[in-house]
Amino acid sequence: MVTKSEETELSRLESQVDNGGGGAWEYLCLVRKLKVRRSDKVLKHGLSILNDSKKRSSLGSEEWTLYEEVAIAAMDCQSLEVAKDCVNVLRKKFPESKRVGRLEALLLEAKGSWGEAEKAYSSLLEDNPFDQVVHKRRVALAKAQGNLSGAIEWLNKYLETFMADHDAWRELAEIYVSLQMYKQAAFCYEELILSQPTVPLFHLAYADVLYTLGGLENLQTARKYYSSTIDLTGGKNTRALFGICLCTSAIAQFSKGRNKEDKDCPDLQSLATAALEKEYKQRASGKLTVLTSAFKSLKVSS
């Protein structure tokens, strides 16, 4: 995550370079260090260095890193001829490089040559089955074609080897949700909570999925995870507070007050509604009547 001071420095350098004050290389280095996407700027200022033989030669071995950065930025900006020229320079310098091979496959993607790109990635994986970047590019390739079932297949295959990749589990969960495959999404969020139990986002997403699935047991579990989200965020998560109210209302319809386990439900609901009222009074007092109306429709007391 980029800190405020780093963002300030990046903006300062960007303004300086854009206004002809120099520092293009320092700016490009900072962009790379912070891993931010500034494709148009990288393309513009990177080319200004690469097209100047004196500046280019002063970079030493970093010249090839810059060629790679400019190639990727050019693909982002659909300047495919520039990207092709950069990749060709790198291929000439590193004829056996798998890293350059990935760039060539990326260029095929950018051109929309899906079949050729898939063949290129398959070839790279034959040489190195543990190349995470290539595995993820295959997923991206499937998603770019609207082939979500293919993306699910590649992600599941990837996770058989790289089970600790939280981003992959989350992406798989989000694809399942988009396809209304909620039980499968729930499994993904369970894996995420097991590996990162203190991340409130995963508790919240899991609760949302369980609430969507419905049924008394799922609703009771969803309420628990909305509660844990509130606990992990110090009571600051408005969505989770609403989740408590929604679950309370739905559980009441199922159990009709007879379920012993739900004796604490009114107290929990009262805490949630009180917290929501306080939040609305502070931040959106004009919508307090809408909140009260919502409580009445859910048959929860404020």
Tens of pLDDT, residues 73-94: 999 999 999 999 999 999 999 9
pLDDT computed for residue 281 by the predictor? 80
Alpha-carbon gap, residue 99 to 133, rounded angstroms: 10
Cα–Cα distance for residue pair 64/132, rounded to 1 Å: 22
Whether the model pTM is above 0.75: yes
* b/e code 226-242 from CB counts within 10 Å (16+ = b): bbbbbebbebebeebbb
> What is d(CA 291, CA 280) in angstroms, rounded to the nearest whole number?
8
**Parts of the chain with a pLDDT under 70:** 256-266, 299-302
The C-alpha atoms of residue 71 and residue 68 are separated, in whole angstroms, by 5
The pLDDT score that the predictor gives to residue 175 is 98
Tens-place pLDDT, residues 33-87 = 999 999 999 999 999 999 999 999 999 999 999 999 999 999 999 999 999 999 9
Most distant CA pair in the chain, distance: 82
CA distance 247 to 202: 18
Long-range contacts of 59-68 (CB under 8 A, 24+ apart): 59/25, 64/90, 64/93, 64/94, 65/32, 66/28, 68/99, 68/103
Tokens, residue 253:
């319809």
Long-range contacts of 98-103 (CB under 8 A, 24+ apart): 98/124, 98/127, 98/128, 98/131, 99/68, 102/133, 102/134, 102/137, 103/68, 103/71, 103/72
Q: What is the pLDDT of residue 296?
A: 77
Check if the beta carbon of residue 151 is closer than 8 Å to that of residue 143: yes
Q: Taking a C-beta distance cutoff of 8 angstroms, is the pair 238, 204 a contact?
A: no
Tell me, what's the pLDDT at 301? 56
- Reported as half-sphere exposure (CB side, CA atoms, 13 A), residue 108 has a value of 18
**pLDDT score at 285:** 79
